[in-house]
Structure 1
Amino acid sequence: MARYLSFLPHRAAVPAALIALCIGTPGHGEVLEASDTHYRLAHEANTDLTPAALWGRLVNPARWWNPLHSFSGVADNLQLDARAGGLWREDWDGGSVAHGRVLQVRDGELLRLEAPFGPLQGLGAYVVWTITITPGEIGGSTVTFEEVASAPPGSGLDQLAGAVDGVKAEALARLAGE
C-alpha cells in the first residue's frame, strides 16, 4: 500500500486505497472545489521557523515528507533540485520516479512544481503545486500549499481530492514542524 498503489490492477481501486493511506493523518486542509476532471486544494500553517529555516527544510524533502507516501518507503531516497527544470525525484535500488518538475523558484519565498504524485501520474493528470513562504506577523513564518489538478473525463478526481488533501495536510504539518 505504501508504494503509491502501483500494484493495483485498475484505477477503480485507487480512490479507496488512497483514502486508506490518509487514515490517522492530522486535520485536513480544504478542498476548495472538485469535479470528475478537476480539483483545487489550499492549506496554510504558521510555524516558529524563520523563512530561511523553513526554506531549508522545504528543499530537503527527505527531512519532512512521509516515507509512507513514497515508492521506496525510505525518505532518504527523496531529493529536490530546486531550480527551474529541476526534479523532485526518488531513487532506490532497482527503480526511480520523477514525482515533480520545478516550474518556478524564488529562493526563500516560492516553489512551484508540476507534480502529479503517485497514482495521479497514471491518470494523465496535470497538477500544479505552489508552495509559498512569508514572514509571520510576529516572527516565524507562514507556509501555504495550493494545488490545482486537471485530468481527462472519467478520471474521478472528485473521488481522489479528499485523499490527496489529507496527504498534503500531513505534509504541511510535517514541513512546519507540527
Structure 2
Amino acid sequence: MVRHILIGTALAAASPATAEVALSDTGFTTTNSAEVAAAPADVWAALIEPARYWNADHSWSLDAANMSLEPQAGGCFCEALPDGGSAEHMRVIMVQPDQTLRLSGALGPLQAEGLAGTLTWQLEPVDGGTRITQTYALGGHMQFDRETFAPVVDGVVREQLDRLVALFPGNQD
C-alpha cells in the first residue's frame, strides 16, 4: 500500500513548484521539482559542486566547503572532517552529464539505520530553462516512525533543491 502526503509548496518564493512524499510499508519516496531560467549544462555544473548549495547545517563538519562530489560511477559524495577524518554521504551510481545524477546511500543520521537510499537528480530542458526533479527513495529497517519522519527527510533534501535553484537568478518557480 502506498500513501501520498502533499507537502505545502507556498512556503516561500524559492519553494519547489511541486513536492510530494509517498509512503509504503517498507519506506518512502520524496519527489520535488522546480524550474530555473538556466541551461541544463549550467545547472549540472552547479549540481556537481555541492559546496555551492548544500546547507552546512546538514553536514558533519558544519562547513559546506568540506563537501565534494566526484561525478563518475563509483565517485564519492563526501565530506572532509577535522583532524583528517572523512564521511561518505553517498556513492555515485549513475552519471549522464547535463541530464541525470544518481547517488546511493542514507544521508546524515539515516546512516545508522538499516536503510538503503537512492537520490536522483534529473535535469530536463524546458522553454526558457531547465526542470530539476529530485527524487529520494529510502527503504529498509527503520527504528523511527516513517510517517512522522518522511516529511522531515523531505524537508532536508528539498532544502538542497531550493538552495540549488537560488543560484540561478530569475528562477521560474
Is 2:39 the partner of 1:50? yes
Q: Does 1:75 align with 2:64?
A: yes
Amino acid at match of 1:100: M
1:97 alignment partner in structure 2: 87
Hey, what's the Cα distance between the residues in 1 that align with 2:30 and 2:68?
Answer: 24
2:101 to 89, 104, 111: 111
2:114–2:142 CA contact under 8 A, matched in 1: no
Report runs of 4+ in structure 1 exceeding 6 Å deviation. Answer: none
Worse-superposed segment, 50-59 or 150-159: 150-159
Q: Distance in 2 between matches of 1:121 and 1:65?
A: 18
The structure whose residues are more often strand, as a share, is 2
Give unpaired runs (5+ residues) of structure 1. Answer: 1-23
- Give the Å deviation of 1:158: 2.5
After TM superposition, the structure 1 = structure 2 runs for residues 141-152 of structure 1, keeping only pairs within 5 Å, are 141-152=130-141
CA distance in 1, matches of 2:39, 2:142: 42
Comparing both chains, which one has the higher relative contact order based on Cα–Cα distances under 8 Å and sequence gaps of 6 or more?
A: 1
Deviates more, 1:48-57 or 1:149-158: 149-158
Which structure 2 residue ranges, 5 or more long, are not aligned?
A: 1-11
- Retained in 1: the 8 A contact 2:81–2:87? no
Matched, 1:33 2:9: no
How much does 1:153 deviate? Answer: 5.3
Q: TM-score, normalised by structure 2?
A: 0.81
**Paired residues, number:** 153
Q: Percent of aligned pairs with the same residue?
A: 33
TM-score scaled to structure 1, two decimals? 0.79
